[in-house]
């Protein structure tokens, strides 16, 4: 397994990206230690640094107008570290090219065993074809979720001593991801759902700094102009930390509802739920015909309360709201999800899907679905699937409190030393189960490095990950509700 390096000239060609894809696919069958042999830490850093700069130059709301030669836009939902299935997706539906745009709708990492490979492949495509590959932000692209759903421990297991720096660079890349994309001024693509507009500044009054400083019921539904003016959310979008992150937080965490109106997302403890009337108002006011969102897999839909039941996404796709102005649909692209389930937990064996938007209409998507690649390479989870970290049980309360030194969207320092980590030693040790002795030693070293890098084993967030009641009590309406980080 020869280590890869960038071609002469220092920029990846399409052929290089294809070679990277195959090399990482081969390595996934050879155990956790194989990735760093074919993709050295130096190459990882080169890719992350360059792509972070590309993303930084992109606006919060991408406005994409395909050229005559780019008449098809393929939209991909959550992939969640299921790299083998991502490779199958490309095999089935084609790869990015100068004639074809791919739009990835967030949640590239966590809960699957190959989040590093997934992120690196998509980043390499972005670098090679920046005007034909677009990466949007999901709720898992931040410090909070990646500490509790395995990605941090995965990075440390695969890159050891270099893992801390690599993780910092990944967080920097996440903070630069655009939040949404507008295709031909009629299709809006975003990860979670609709959002509120921040309160207007009152003359002579200081601007409120966090959500606790205002009456939330006074907030209005946001607009595309509000989204254009918004920041990207910093390290972890959280209005409890900074009101400037309100739109980013709502956008990556919110969910559609069958019930009219817009209100607090009780299931997740962050973001909003919104009904068909709100979708219709947003479509009408902004001249849209279609909203494509992701964020909910089959488990999320199954575990909703009866009064909040929505259509199944077992085929990878559902029409959630159909209104006079258009539709809101959910797209999920991780088949047989989640990869790891607690003992005795039901498996949904869902299919995944992609949407193709084609000229001249673009707002009438063609759906194609596919099944998971089985069997998958041997792997074990990097998070505790049985310890309360299931999506429907985790609380996201106070996720920004650990990051208070990040006071604006522009700060780049990593929260590695400040954020909490859940069970990093156990996660990495579990990933070594039944592996060769050498790999067990590598993962034990990674666990120790993860704990040393974090230095915060008793952070309140660790408790919150296992008990919604452990969340903060500073705002009653938020602390009485559990949250899910699907």
Give the separation between CA 76 and CA 393, rounded to whole angstroms.
26
120, 24 contact by CB (below 8 A): yes
Q: What is the mean pLDDT of the chain?
A: 84
Lowest average pLDDT, out of 38-52, 131-145, 381-395, 442-456, goes to: 442-456
Give the separation between CA 381 and CA 427, rounded to whole angstroms.
7
393, 482 contact by CB (below 8 A): yes
pLDDT beyond 50 at 437: no
pLDDT beyond 50 at 402: no
Give the separation between CA 178 and CA 233, rounded to whole angstroms.
9
The residue ranking higher by pLDDT, 139 or 401, is 139
The residue ranking higher by pLDDT, 198 or 387, is 198
State yes or no: is 466 an active-site residue.
no
**Residue at token pair 């592996």:** 435
- The residues near 211 (Cβ < 8 Å, ≥ 6 apart) are 239, 240, 243, 246, 475
369, 315 contact by CB (below 8 A): yes
pLDDT beyond 50 at 391: no
Q: What tokens appear for 157 in the block?
A: 């297991």
Q: Are strands 272-274 and 255-256 parallel, antiparallel or unpaired?
A: parallel
Give the burial string for 15-44 (b: 16+ CB within 10 Å, else e): ebbbbbbebbbebbeebbbbbbebbbbebb
Given this model, what pLDDT does residue 71 score?
83
pTM for the full model?
A: 0.84
429, 444 contact by CB (below 8 A): yes
Could you tell me if residue 473 is left (phi over 0), alpha (psi between -120 and 50 degrees) or otherwise beta? Answer: alpha
What average pLDDT score do residues 379-408 get? 54
For 50, list phi and psi in degrees, rounded to 5.
-65, -45
Could you tell me if residue 228 is left (phi over 0), alpha (psi between -120 and 50 degrees) or otherwise beta? Answer: alpha
Give the separation between CA 459 and CA 427, rounded to whole angstroms.
17
Task: For 255-309, give the DSSP string.
Answer: EE-SSSSEEE-TTTSSSEEE-HHHHHHHHHHHT-SEEEE----HHHHHTS-GGG-
Q: Where are the beta strands (DSSP E) in 136-227?
A: 180-183, 187-190
Give the separation between CA 293 and CA 192, rounded to whole angstroms.
6
- The residues near 469 (Cβ < 8 Å, ≥ 6 apart) are none
Cα 486 to the center of its chain, rounded Å: 9
> Catalytic residue among 140, 148, 176, 459, which?
140
pLDDT digits (tens, 9 = 90+) for 340-367: 988 888 899 999 999 999 999 999 999 9
Given this model, what pLDDT does residue 396 score?
43
Q: What tokens appear for 73 in the block?
A: 């836009």
Q: Which of 69, 6, 82 is nearest to 381 (CA)?
A: 82
Q: What tokens appear for 193 in the block?
A: 């759902």
Confidence of residue 1 (pLDDT cuts 50, 70, 90): confident
SS3 for 462-484 is HHHCCCHHHCCCCCHHHHCCCCC
What average pLDDT score do residues 212-218 get? 92
The CB-side HSE value for 219 (13 A sphere, CA atoms) comes to 28
CB atoms within 10 A of CB 280: 17
Given this model, what pLDDT does residue 485 score?
55
The residue ranking higher by pLDDT, 274 or 464, is 274
Give the separation between CA 222 and CA 225, rounded to whole angstroms.
8
Q: What tokens appear for 220 in the block?
A: 């209005």
Give the separation between CA 163 and CA 454, rounded to whole angstroms.
12
């Amino acid at each position: 397994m020869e280590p890869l390096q960038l071609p002469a000239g220092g920029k990846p060609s399409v052929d290089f990206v294809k070679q990277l894809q195959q090399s990482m696919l081969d390595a996934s069958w050879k155990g956790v230690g194989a990735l760093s042999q074919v993709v050295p830490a130096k190459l990882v850093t080169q890719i992350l640094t360059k792509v972070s700069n590309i993303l930084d130059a992109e606006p919060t709301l991408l406005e994409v107008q395909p050229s005559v030669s780019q008449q098809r836009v393929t939209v991909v939902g959550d992939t969640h570290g299921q790299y083998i299935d991502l490779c199958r997706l490309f095999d089935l539906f084609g790869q990015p090219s100068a004639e074809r745009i791919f739009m990835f709708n967030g949640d590239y990492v966590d809960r699957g065993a190959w989040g590093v490979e997934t992120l690196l492949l998509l980043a390499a495509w972005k670098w090679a074809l920046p005007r034909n590959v677009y990466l949007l932000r999901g709720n898992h692209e931040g410090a909070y979720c990646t500490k509790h759903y395995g990605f941090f421990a995965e990075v440390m297991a695969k890159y050891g001593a270099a893992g801390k720096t690599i993780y910092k660079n990944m967080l920097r890349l996440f903070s630069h991801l655009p939040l949404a994309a507008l295709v031909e001024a009629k299709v809006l693509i975003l990860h979670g759902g609709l959002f509120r507009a921040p309160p207007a500044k009152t003359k002579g009054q200081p601007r409120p700094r966090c959500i606790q400083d205002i009456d939330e019921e006074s907030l209005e539904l946001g607009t595309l102009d509000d989204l254009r003016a918004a920041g990207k959310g910093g390290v972890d979008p959280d209005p409890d930390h900074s009101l400037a992150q309100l739109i980013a937080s709502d956008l990556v965490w919110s969910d559609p509802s069958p019930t009219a109106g817009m209100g607090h997302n009780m299931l997740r403890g962050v973001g909003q739920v919104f009904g068909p009337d709100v979708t219709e108002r947003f479509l009408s006011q902004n001249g849209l015909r279609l909203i494509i969102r992701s964020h909910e897999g089959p488990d999320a839909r199954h575990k909703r309360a009866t009064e909040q039941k929505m259509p199944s996404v077992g085929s990878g796709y559902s029409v959630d709201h159909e209104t006079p102005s258009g539709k809101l649909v959910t797209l999920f692209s991780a088949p047989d999800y989640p990869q790891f389930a607690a003992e005795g937990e039901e498996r949904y064996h869902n299919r995944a899907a992609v949407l193709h938007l084609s000229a001249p209409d673009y707002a009438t998507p063609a759906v194609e679905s596919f099944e998971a690649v089985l069997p998958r390479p041997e792997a074990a989870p990097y998070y505790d699937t049985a310890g309360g970290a299931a999506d429907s049980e985790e609380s996201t309360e106070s996720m920004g409190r650990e990051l208070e030194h990040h006071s604006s969207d522009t700060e780049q320092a990593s929260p590695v030393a400040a954020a909490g980590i859940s069970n990093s030693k156990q996660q990495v040790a579990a990933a070594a189960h039944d592996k060769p002795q050498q790999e067990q030693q590598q993962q034990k070293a990674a666990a120790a490095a993860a704990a040393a890098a974090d230095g915060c084993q008793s952070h309140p967030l660790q408790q919150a990950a296992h008990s919604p009641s452990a969340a903060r009590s500073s705002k009653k309406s938020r602390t009485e509700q559990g949250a899910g980080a699907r």
